[in-house]
Structure 1
Amino acid sequence: MNEDIKYVPEKLKAVIHYIISKCGLNHNVGRTVMYKLLYFSDFNFYELYETPITGEKYIKKPNGPISSHFLDLKEELISEGKIKEDVEKVIDYNRYRYTSLKEPDISCLNENEINVIDDTINRISTMSANEISDYSHGDMPWKVAENEEELDYEFVFYRDPEYVVREYDE
């Protein structure tokens, strides 16, 4: 699918830590919201600049796109003492909470990348897990993918108006 897109683990790790440092303490930001903030940061950046921030592969799941490498990188951040994860049992599922323990190193991110991540956080980080999942289901890359399939960055150019982040000439 996205053959010429290169996955850069250091950047994804920096973005995960940055997002947690910015909004991890919000009561609604658990794993589902984290997945969507990562997805929209990468895909919005792709729409604007025709390259993703991290090159991460996002997979279509019933609750929306998920990051292929989030769990591994989250464990690295925990073992490095940079973040902590709290797990709370809620009826029939686990609720995950993330806290940043150190200032994130975002030296691998440029100003445009940070601006798009911040814009994504400002737009959708207050949504609940259910709201942000439903919202992600309307985005074209998720809509056209089969279940368990990788989402294609190119479909951002076919987004419905409410998802468009780029100014297009009429």
Structure 2
Amino acid sequence: MRAVILRVCHSCDPADLGAVKLNKVLYFLDMISYAHHRQAVTGATYRKRPNGPTSDQLLFMLRDMQEIGEIQVDDVDYHGFIKKNYVALVSEPVGVLTNEETTLLDDVIEFVCRRNTAKSISDYSHKLPWELAHMGDVIEYHTAMMLFPNEPSPKAFELAKEGAEELEAARSTGNAVAVTSLADFRSRLLAAAR
């Protein structure tokens, strides 16, 4: 979690990062990682709160990081509201996050911090996993797949139809059917769903 927080702070302009967004970066990073690999990056516990999921461990980690001089956290005025301002005082530790985790984290930072406001990302986080939990209860990792659309896109149908036509054409010529891996097929469907 420490490495993730430092990377987020180094990647974001302080104006683009507050408590709501930092919680959402952690949440989406862990849930997406769990959905794809059955393993979260930080392993934090997330609870249903009015502004979306929050991490049980974040405040303790931030306090510890402040005490040892790794991060500065200030309350600042932001359009008449009090907002947390995070500034990393040390470099991100090297080798803690894998290349895949770093790539996913950078994508999540882009989506949460640069393409959304605190309000819009808070609203966006109110997806099915959040809705299923009672206020204050843990949002279980096994609900991560519920974050993804469960209706195939028209492009996914087109790909499935093309695949079926290719299969039928190969069968009718009597040639061996080229088998694509299930992982490749799933990747093509996920790309089409975006």
TM (normalized to structure 1)? 0.81
Contact 1:29/1:128 (<8 A) preserved: no
Structure 1 residue 117 corresponds to structure 2 residue 105: yes
Give the superposed CA RMSD.
2.2
Q: Which amino acid is 1:17 matched to? A: L
Identity of aligned residues (%): 29
Contact 2:14/2:86 (<8 A) preserved: no
Aligned residue in 2 for 1:150: 138
Structure of higher CA gyration radius: 2
**1:159 offset after TM fit, Å?**
2.9
**1:158 offset after TM fit, Å?**
2.6
Secondary structure, counterpart of 2:72 in structure 1: strand
> Which aligned runs of 4 or more in structure 1 are off by greater than 3 angstroms?
89-93, 166-170
Contact 1:65/1:136 (<8 A) preserved: yes
Structure 1 residue 135 corresponds to structure 2 residue 124: yes
Aligned residue in 1 for 2:8: 19
Contact 1:57/1:67 (<8 A) preserved: yes
Gaps of 5+ in 1: 1-11
- C-alpha offsets along residues 19-60 of structure 1, whole Å, 9 cap, x if unaligned? 11111x241311011000110011111111111011100010
Higher relative contact order (CA 8 A, sep 6+): 1
Gaps of 5+ in 2: 151-185
* Higher percent of residues as helix: 2
Q: Which amino acid is 1:39 matched to? A: Y
- C-alpha offsets along residues 91-128 of structure 1, whole Å, 9 cap, x if unaligned? 88531110111211142211111111111112221211
Contact 1:18/1:106 (<8 A) preserved: no
